[in-house]
Chain A
Amino acid sequence: MSVDGSTNIERHETLGVPFADDPIFSVRDCNVYYGDTHAIKDVSLDIARGEVISLIGPSGCGKSTFLRCLNRMNDTIDSARVSGEIRLDGEDIYAKKVDPVLLRARVGMVFQKPNPFPKSIYENVAYGPRIHGLSRSRAELDDIVFSSLDRAGLYNEVKDRMDDPGTALSGGQQQRLCIARTIAVNPEVILMDEPCSALDPIATATIEDLMEELTEHFSIAIVTHSMQQAARVSQRTAYFHLGKLVEVGNTNKVFTNPLHRLTEDYVTGRIG
């Protein structure tokens, strides 16, 4: 239960502006259960085209679970059950005919812990385009790999050691390699699950700068524990609490003038 006993979260209603005019993702009444645990409760939220939206909230509030619904990564958990409607570009991604493989080519994901494949730097980035048949020739594959590394701001650091193992890079470089790997597939949306929580401040700053450039081409949903990060990188912020979406709004507004008591408690550091 919330700290000040405010039970108004039970009468659930998301405050602020959860909906957008031209959404790439539109989620309506999403519920997720892990076995008997009700992890996400009636969440409705739009992600606009070309925006960065931050999902914040205390641990266990369901923000990562929500993120993993968007590319159906929850499918890999046997006990997970998802209900409600999630549309990507108007198409219900949980419909029977939707292939999660295709969905994940359109919705890329960057994980909390950098997880490069135990292969060379080149192979790490080339893997996605290769399995999806995105290149017709070796030269084209090279171009995809190098420009993806360049977009991820890693090319200059690794151009002379493409055959080195990806796992030999530093933590921040590994995470940028994972981002390069994701954008090499040219997804429409990139989901980032606390991408900087394992990195030092300098590597974090590099990745935050990178995100700004990435919004030119991609929509980004980022889960973060750092409110400063949310404030720096995102246009909109969604606050989750105990599986419910409490408030959504312009980042500035959420942090300076929150509508909900819980949001205020969180952003001012009283809970979380």
Chain B
Amino acid sequence: MSEFKRQKLRSPAENRALVEASLRSRYRRERRFQGYGMASVLASVAFVLFFFVTIVSQGHSAFFQTYVKLDIAFDPAIIDPDGGRDPEALSSANYKKLVKQSLQNLFPDVSGRKETRVLTGMVSSGAVYTLREMVMDDPAIVGSTQAIWFPADDEVDMFFKGRMDVTGPEKKRRFKDDQIGFADALQAQGRIETRFNKIFFTAGDSRDPEMAGIRAAATGSIFMLLVTVLIAFPLGVAAAIYLEEFAPKNRWVDIIEVNINNLAAVPSIIYGLLGLAVFINFFGLPRSASFVGGLVLALMTMPTVIIASRSAIMAVPPSIREAALGLGASRVQTVTDHVLPLALPGMLTGAILGLARALGETAPLLMIGMVAFIVDVPQTPMDPSSALPVQIYLWADSPERAFVERTSAAIMVLLAFLLVMNAVAVWLRSRFERRW
């Protein structure tokens, strides 16, 4: 130590003055530090709010759909000219003509191909399927006349929702004057109604926005999540238990640990490529199947589950292990009777957060063909299927105005899924958390 000047002790008053002076700047620094934190929180809240407000204001209208009431005369001459009620004939009948006739009855002045086409276009092209279904279900209705509510065409729907620009010169508009005329006339006759959009929740994808729904995509997502959780959770937890409680501490185990941690950071599209190469090309599993999607997402989620489970196991106090071992419990009994129950809430939380990430994942699914246009709701995990985030991606790419609100609505559904999962995570944690 070098020379130093031996300092005289200050008087208490002098000392106190110095401390007080330092206090002011200290508190100023602390206030500033808290201010930064508060500003960050406010900024995050503002972003989240902005996001939610945008999505909800864009998407809420998709939960409703404009319907048009038409009086359909099930004319036997059109549906079944032979009179045999042959199912094949009924199924291939010209239902479009029924819609056309009913509309022409409402607007007798309309003539000419082009105008007639605009008129028939007021009602969704899905109307013919509704009619066919009705006739196939009950052939007896042929010959009667019934008032039926059909979904309006997406542009008409947009018009009534006020999302269609009807100002400016007609030439530049998508929604022309004659369409406005028909729409207003239908409304004047009380034939327009806004109803809950059941189709959105019961149908698969469609080229017509008014007939498009998220059912196929949501089912695919649920199948995938089931496959993912059934594979990733048990495997991940088992791996974590082995690594934490049983594995010898040597270089190989270290290498495995480092690699698991690295896997958690691998871009998800790589897992998609892996799934394509291994599950589809090598094992020959079907393309676009939610089972394969689930496998890929399970691979992707597993490192997260392992890491979360390991830290949950590590957080179990060693004294509990000692108590069990000291009583003569075997190592497996110690784990299953004492360590696992205590670590389970943490494991579940980690797993559900991993699953939530998997639920929103799109990139790997593109690689295994889940980006296909899926109309039918998948019945098994082996059926071609889509997934919610992929559906959002597909709709966001579609030019129709009506798909904009449906995209936002699908995002809302996806967010609802995530909220439910997080709620389940919280519930599971409080359910299994030891209250002592």
Chain A interface residues toward B at CB < 8 A: 71, 73, 76, 78, 101-105, 108-109, 111, 113, 115-118, 127-128, 131-132, 165-168, 178, 181-182, 185
By a CB distance below 8 angstroms, the chain A residues around B342 are: 118
By a CB distance below 8 angstroms, the chain A residues around B248 are: 78
Given contacts A131-B328, A131-B333, contact A168 B436 (CB under 8 A): yes
Q: Is the CB of A131 within 8 A of B329?
A: yes
- Smallest CB-CB separation from B435: which chain A residue? A165
Contact with A108, one of B321, B322, B327, B338 (Cβ below 8 angstroms):
B327
By a CB distance below 8 angstroms, the chain A residues around B326 are: 71, 73, 104, 108-109, 111, 182
By a CB distance below 8 angstroms, the chain A residues around B172 are: none
* Alpha-carbon gap, A76 to B329, bound state (A): 13
Task: How many A-B residue pairs have C-beta atoms within 8 angstroms? Tell me.
Answer: 68
Instruction: Knowing that A105-B328, A108-B327, A118-B342 touch, tell me 5 more A-B residue pairs with CB under 8 angstroms.
Output: A78-B248, A111-B319, A111-B322, A111-B323, A116-B323
By a CB distance below 8 angstroms, the chain B residues around A185 are: 327-328
Q: Is the CB of B324 within 8 A of A117?
A: yes
Complex A-B: 17 CB contacts under 8 Å: A73-B322, A76-B321, A78-B248, A101-B329, A102-B328, A103-B328, A109-B326, A115-B317, A115-B320, A115-B322, A118-B342, A118-B434, A127-B329, A131-B327, A131-B329, A165-B434, A165-B436
Taking the complex as formed, is B28 at the interface, i.e. its CB lies under 8 A from any CB of chain A? no
By a CB distance below 8 angstroms, the chain B residues around A109 are: 322, 326
Taking the complex as formed, is B8 at the interface, i.e. its CB lies under 8 A from any CB of chain A? no
- Smallest CB-CB separation from B322: which chain A residue? A111
- Smallest CB-CB separation from A187: which chain B residue? B328
* Alpha-carbon gap, A117 to B320, bound state (A): 6
State how many angstroms separate the Cβ of A266 from the closest Cβ of chain B: 28
By a CB distance below 8 angstroms, the chain B residues around A113 are: 319
From B317, B326, B333, residue with most partner A Cβ within 10 Å: B326
- Smallest CB-CB separation from A112: which chain B residue? B319
- Smallest CB-CB separation from A181: which chain B residue? B327
Counting chain B residues whose Cβ lies within 8 A of the other chain, the interface size class is 20 to 34
Chain B 219-261 near chain A by CB (<8 Å), digits 1 or 0:
0000000000000000000000000000011000000000000
Taking the complex as formed, is B415 at the interface, i.e. its CB lies under 8 A from any CB of chain A? no
Overall SS of chain B's interface: helix
Q: Is the CB of B327 within 8 A of A104?
A: yes
* Alpha-carbon gap, A167 to B434, bound state (A): 11
State how many angstroms separate the Cβ of A80 from the closest Cβ of chain B: 12
Taking the complex as formed, is B20 at the interface, i.e. its CB lies under 8 A from any CB of chain A? no
Taking the complex as formed, is B337 at the interface, i.e. its CB lies under 8 A from any CB of chain A? yes
Taking the complex as formed, is B330 at the interface, i.e. its CB lies under 8 A from any CB of chain A? yes
Taking the complex as formed, is B325 at the interface, i.e. its CB lies under 8 A from any CB of chain A? yes
By a CB distance below 8 angstroms, the chain B residues around A131 are: 327-329, 333, 337
* Alpha-carbon gap, A127 to B329, bound state (A): 9
- Smallest CB-CB separation from B330: which chain A residue? A101
From A78, A118, A166, A168, residue with most partner B Cβ within 10 Å: A118
Given contacts A78-B249, A165-B435, contact A104 B328 (CB under 8 A): yes
State how many angstroms separate the Cβ of A209 from the closest Cβ of chain B: 23
State how many angstroms separate the Cβ of A107 from the closest Cβ of chain B: 9
Q: Is the CB of B325 within 8 A of A76?
A: yes
Q: Is the CB of A115 within 8 A of B337?
A: no
* Alpha-carbon gap, A132 to B338, bound state (A): 16
By a CB distance below 8 angstroms, the chain B residues around A103 are: 328
- Smallest CB-CB separation from A132: which chain B residue? B328
* Alpha-carbon gap, A63 to B324, bound state (A): 22
- Smallest CB-CB separation from A165: which chain B residue? B436
* Alpha-carbon gap, A178 to B319, bound state (A): 12
By a CB distance below 8 angstroms, the chain A residues around B330 are: 101
State how many angstroms separate the Cβ of A184 from the closest Cβ of chain B: 9
- Smallest CB-CB separation from B326: which chain A residue? A109
State how many angstroms separate the Cβ of A170 from the closest Cβ of chain B: 14
By a CB distance below 8 angstroms, the chain B residues around A105 are: 327-328
Cβ-closest 7 pairs across A and B: A165-B436, A104-B328, A115-B319, A105-B328, A109-B326, A167-B436, A118-B434
* Alpha-carbon gap, A102 to B342, bound state (A): 26
By a CB distance below 8 angstroms, the chain A residues around B333 are: 131
By a CB distance below 8 angstroms, the chain B residues around A104 are: 325-328
Chain B 319-352 near chain A by CB (<8 Å), digits 1 or 0:
1111111111110010001100010000000000
* Alpha-carbon gap, A73 to B333, bound state (A): 16
Q: Is the CB of A182 within 8 A of B436?
A: no
State how many angstroms separate the Cβ of B245 from the closest Cβ of chain A: 10
By a CB distance below 8 angstroms, the chain A residues around B434 are: 118, 165
By a CB distance below 8 angstroms, the chain B residues around A118 are: 320, 342, 434, 436
By a CB distance below 8 angstroms, the chain B residues around A165 are: 434-436
* Alpha-carbon gap, A71 to B329, bound state (A): 13
Q: Is the CB of B436 within 8 A of A128?
A: no
